[in-house]
Structure 1
Amino acid sequence: MADASQGPQGGQGFIPQTSASPPPPSPSPSPAIVPAAGPAVAAMAPVSANQLFDQLARIEDKASRIEDKYARSEALLSRVEDKVDAATGRMNDAARQSDLAALRTEVRGLAERTRRLPGTGALVLTAIITAVLTVVLTIAVQRLNLDGLLPPKANAAAIR
């Protein structure tokens, strides 16, 4: 892309020369500034201060546009980061909810199994009925002389 500040394609100065005026004398370069490439330097024309200021203004304009793009990119990335953080939070909440649902199901199953177990009243009633029946059956065996059905007392025989 050719810039207007670079001069015409022909390598002449910024102001075109007319046939009426003689070409301006080129200033002789000082020995300290003379570059090693001779033909390339001869084709370059001296640059005016206005051209340098224009070029500097263009560079500053491009730099400010790059800074604006960087600021927009940074804002976009911060919004993306916020959205990712929010999505991560929602996923953690969902995972916790599924864990709670599984735990709730386990507790419900355990509660169902414990509900089917007999309560304290039923256990006491069973113990009383068992004790009464044991006494009644023992008395019936003794009255009917069914002592022969009972096993012999091995301990009493071993002691005599």
Structure 2
Amino acid sequence: MPNVPDPTDESIWRPLRLLQARMDDDIARLYVESDLPELKPSYVMELLRLHARGPMTIKDLATSVHRTHSAMSQKVAAMRAAGLVETTAGSDARNKVVDLTDKSRQIVEKLAAEWQATEAALVALEDELPYPLSKAVQDIEKALVHKSFHDRILDQLRGSTAWE
């Protein structure tokens, strides 16, 4: 077994990813407690979007929630397997149109209430913080307009013999 340093032992943003996962787990627990175990927090935006805007192609749904077509196609397949959406052929053979199932239509108001409660809980949580995460995100986005993350990584790689 090799005995080399593992660079993944340290990560500045891993705690943020783990925090978000913990919060998503709490939302998922609400679904289980409400007898919705097939529902995942990552499905709710798409279900609410379909409810608000009606059936959409996978491409249009992906665009509307800022996801790739490939990622949305995989998510739609998972939501279809859970009985939350159905797909039909679109205007040509390459397109699939996604729509809510009756099962989803019965719970969508409940999901909207949870979404709004989650947003309100986040606002209340941020009120307890000296520097709200939403402000940090805005500041990071502003800094990345000045210089992209790609360029920042390249700067750090300059002179690295392992990267050359």
| TM-score normalised by L of structure 1 | 0.26
Structure number with the higher helix fraction is 1
Higher RCO structure (Cα 8 Å, ≥6 apart): 1
Give TM-score, length-normalised by structure 2: 0.25
Q: Which is richer in strand?
A: 2
- Larger of the two Rg values belongs to structure: 1
